[in-house]
A and B are shown apart, each in its own frame.
Chain A
Amino acid sequence: MEKGGLDHLLQRACRRDPQALHELVDLYSARLFGLLYRLTGSRETAEDLMQETFLRVVRNIGSYEHDGRFESWLFRIAANLARDHARKRKRRGATATIDFSISAKDSSSYDLADLRQADPAAEVDQREAQQRVNQSLARLSEADREIILLRHFSGLSFNEIAQMLGIPVGTALARAHRALRKLRRMLEGP
């Protein structure tokens, strides 16, 4: 969406115009879900957190002053929710912040209907590939994983991500560099 269109949409959303908020869900649900799915490793958790993200947008958008950084605000809410979820999991005794068990179980619910009909083997490959990415991401530190996923799904610059996380841009880039090298080795390794 072009900037003028987004500005107008946000002005309407600030007035809690139901249609504007409906459009915001359409516009951002795929990217938010992608971020939350990769951060949590679970489709169900990602869907719940995506809903909570949009409910918080409704509650707080009146106090959000549009300064061209809506996406930074939106993705920060989502990342904070994912971090809280990971903290709760740790408190409950989970060893990993990414939920492998749910990820393996709910992988059958991927939207792969077309693929399933066309080629069952391709569906299995796809499912395994998704799990492999989640497992590799789970081996990264939480902070490193968050930086590369925020960049990938939000499209924010590293400068904006560094501001969002309250760290220097050099630190954000160094973490991303290290994490990506590690991730590449894991994904391309045997």
Chain B
Amino acid sequence: MNDDIKQLERSVLAELEHLGPQLDAPPPRGEWVRAVQIAVADEIDRWYSARRRLALLRSVGGLAAALLLAVGLLHAPESATSWLLVADQPPEQAVEDWLGAIEDSSDQLAELLEQAWTVDAGPADDELPADPFKYLEESLDYFNTLSG
């Protein structure tokens, strides 16, 4: 900050100090502050219920995907599952890895859904990965590799 700006800041702060008491506002009503606290407590409850619903959705989704995969593999003709035999690891391990990848992508999607629920004019979410679909794409790529 150069000297001119510092000088301007000092002058503005002195002026504000002079006018400050006139700018002061009446306080909020006590009952309104309590009403806000109740609304905030309700919002926290809503936030926790939304999280529980997301966790349930994630578990059910993961289970359904695993069941579909298991049923598909059990009932598929031999020719369709022969790739499992030529993969460079045991087929059970390959399926387990793929399920793990699905779970990772599911976690990322759940986080993305949660962020969408809380989307706002606030700052960018530093916790969110740069590319939230990365893990989903990776799991699909891995599946494509396995299926040749």
Binding site for B on A (CB under 8 A): 16, 18, 21-22, 25-26, 29-30, 33-35, 37-38, 43, 46-47, 50-51, 54-60, 62-65, 73, 77, 80, 109-112, 129-130, 133, 148-149, 151-153, 158-159, 169-170, 173-174, 176-177, 180-181, 183-184, 187
**A149-B128 Cα distance, complex, nearest whole Å:** 34
Interface of B is mostly: helix
Distance in angstroms from B40 CB to nearest chain A CB is 5
- Find out whether the CB atom of A63 lies under 8 angstroms from the CB atom of B126: yes
Chain A residue with the shortest CB-CB distance to B126: A65
Distance in angstroms from A144 CB to nearest chain B CB is 12
Contacts of B47 in A (CB 8 A): 16, 58-59
- Given A63-B122, A111-B26, are A26 and B8 neighbors across the interface (CB < 8 Å)? no
Stretch at the interface among B31-39, B63-71, B135-143: B31-39
- Find out whether the CB atom of B16 lies under 8 angstroms from the CB atom of A148: yes
Binding site for A on B (CB under 8 A): 1, 5, 8-9, 11-12, 15-16, 18-20, 22-29, 32-33, 35-37, 39-41, 43-44, 47-48, 115, 117-118, 120-123, 125-128
Chain B residue with the shortest CB-CB distance to A62: B118
Across chains A and B, the number of contacting residue pairs, with CB separation under 8 Å, is 135
**A77-B24 Cα distance, complex, nearest whole Å:** 20
**A153-B23 Cα distance, complex, nearest whole Å:** 9
- Given A54-B40, A111-B27, are A176 and B123 neighbors across the interface (CB < 8 Å)? no
Chain B residue with the shortest CB-CB distance to A31: B25
- Find out whether the CB atom of A59 lies under 8 angstroms from the CB atom of B43: yes
Interface of A is mostly: helix
- Find out whether the CB atom of A58 lies under 8 angstroms from the CB atom of B44: yes
List 7 contacting pairs A-B, 8 Å CB cutoff, sorted by A: A47-B28, A59-B117, A60-B122, A77-B120, A153-B25, A173-B12, A174-B8
Chain A residue with the shortest CB-CB distance to B35: A51
- Find out whether the CB atom of B40 lies under 8 angstroms from the CB atom of A170: no
Distance in angstroms from A43 CB to nearest chain B CB is 8
- Find out whether the CB atom of B9 lies under 8 angstroms from the CB atom of A158: yes
Contacts of B128 in A (CB 8 A): 63
- Find out whether the CB atom of A22 lies under 8 angstroms from the CB atom of B5: no
**A91-B17 Cα distance, complex, nearest whole Å:** 36
